[in-house]
Amino acid sequence: MKILNRVVTAAVATLTAISLAGCAGSTGSTSATNQTDGGEPSGTLTGLFSSYFKDTYEQIAADFKKKYPKVDVKFDYQGGDVGQLVMTQLQGGTAPDILTSFPGGTIKDPADTVAHLSSTGRIAPIEAPWTKDVPDAWKPSVNYQDKTYAYPGALQPLAGIYNKTKLDELGLKIPTTVDETYQLCTAAKDKGIYAYALGLGDPAGPQMLTYAQLATLEPDPVKFDADMAAGKAKYTDSVWVKQFEIYKKMGDLGCFGEGALGRSSDQAVQEVAKGTALATVSVGAVLGQVQKAAPGNSFKVAPMPATNNAADTKVVALPGFVNTINAKAKNPTAAQAFLEFMGEAEPSAIYAKGFASVPVLPNDAYKAPEELATFAELIKSGSYAPLGTVQAEVQTQLNQTIQSLILGDATPRQVAEKLDAVYKK
């Protein structure tokens, strides 16, 4: 079964949130007498969101209540697998009005994705002016059959997250070419630290660097996916081999430090926060973790170069959580009003800030913080790319075989050969 990139990346973002959130709150929705006749919103509005982003949603909810004082907002916040909880509640008829969902997907996904939920009639189309402003690149994330079913939220990077304070202290700079990346690894090692702390010991950790650099190496991931499905392309004949060559050279140079294969993503965050490592490569949600761990330091998100022409470099942009409306919402009027409100300039900017991301919808009210300025500029200039399609079997094989590559037990071409061997047409 194929897993569309948007589902894969949303799952990565979810795993990050899970590690931070813990468990909280109850699982039921609140029932009340609600305005459902299309008039002015009133009654009780319920919703289910990740507890990690509670402060963000509460701020938006407070502003929403100022606009619609007759609505009593009662949101529930959960740790753990919010997507699975949504599916359980939908099946049991206890789901709230507003749902946390994953972007994109396919109609066959047995998961909380926009495509699956909309095709099965579990979420309702959104009626809001902003739906016409969704950029074409992200319409597949929130649309189904030419209707918009989700508030697109914000784009998070999959990129390098650098401890800028430590770099400045050592007189080092964020690399803009692949050779500069190698040089950073050597310079860091000379100073008794290392360059990139990766979660190579986690089941999904090794893939991060590969995906981060493929945005630059693969100019048309959609065509590559189509060619793979048609039997016209192979991983062994693609730029994936080039990325694996970069990966191996970085490993040989000591870029990932001692004991790299046993390091978890959480440990990698702590290494960067302490300045033992200069950077990690992960999704944007991790930025909040390192900032919390080292509040006195400054950090910077930057793309991972894969060539020696800085102008070639693109950053991976990932749509994170999206919000949808339960097709059986007890208060559809208030639910529609809330998602319409979410798309306005100020709430959208609040949302992006809370998710350490940039808005999907064009937004003049949003000003990127310094740590995200480079990412925001790349999005604005179009120097970004989504990920291509990745099969679950290929993803698993990739993560396992990268570890062999680092150990010297597999060559870059052998990694690609193993991906070809598990690929299902």
How would DSSP label each residue in 209-248? HHHHHHHHH-S-HHHHHHHHHTTS--GGGSTHHHHHHHHH
Q: Name the residue type at position 68.
A: Y
The residue behind tokens 């507890």 is 51
DSSP-derived letter for residue 75 is E
- pLDDT at position 220 is 86
| Pairing status of strand 384-385 against strand 315-319 | parallel
Give the pair of three-digit tokens for residue 170: 């050592």
* Model confidence pLDDT, tens digit, residues 251-299: 999 999 999 999 999 999 999 999 999 999 999 889 988 999 999 999 9
Share of the chain above pLDDT 70, in %: 91
Share of the chain above pLDDT 90, in %: 78
Residue 171 pLDDT more than 60? yes
| Record: fold of 2-153+320-355 | D-Maltodextrin-Binding Protein; domain 2 (3.40.190)
* Model confidence pLDDT, tens digit, residues 194-252: 999 999 999 999 999 999 999 999 988 888 988 999 999 999 999 999 999 999 999 99
Any idea how long the chain is? Answer: 425
Q: Cα–Cα–Cα angle for 160, 164, 157, nearest 5°?
A: 25
- pLDDT at position 13 is 42
CA distance 285 to 304: 17
CA torsion angle 409 414 418 423 (round to 10): 160
CA distance 122 to 76: 19
Give the pair of three-digit tokens for residue 155: 């784009």
The mean pLDDT value of the chain amounts to: 89
Residue 146 pLDDT more than 50? yes
* Model confidence pLDDT, tens digit, residues 36-83: 445 789 999 999 999 989 999 999 999 999 999 999 999 999 998 898
| Pairing status of strand 123-124 against strand 71-78 | unpaired
* Model confidence pLDDT, tens digit, residues 28-48: 333 344 544 457 899 999 999
Residue ranges of the chain assigned to CATH 3.40.190.10: 2-153+320-355, 158-317+385-422
Band of pLDDT at residue 355, cut at 50, 70 and 90: confident
Long-range contacts from 288-292, C-beta under 8 angstroms, 24+ separation:
288/20, 288/356, 289/16, 289/20, 290/161, 290/163, 291/371
Residue 1 pLDDT more than 50? no
Taking the CB of residue 189, how many other CB atoms lie within 10 A of it? Answer: 15
In this structure, which CATH number among 3.40.190.10, 3.30.470.20, 3.40.50.1980, 3.40.50.2300 belongs to the domain 158-317+385-422? Answer: 3.40.190.10
- pLDDT at position 7 is 34
Residue 406 pLDDT more than 50? yes
- pLDDT at position 143 is 96
**CB-based burial label for 159 (10 Å; 0-12, 13-18, 19+):** buried
Q: Identify which has the larger pLDDT, 159 or 33.
A: 159
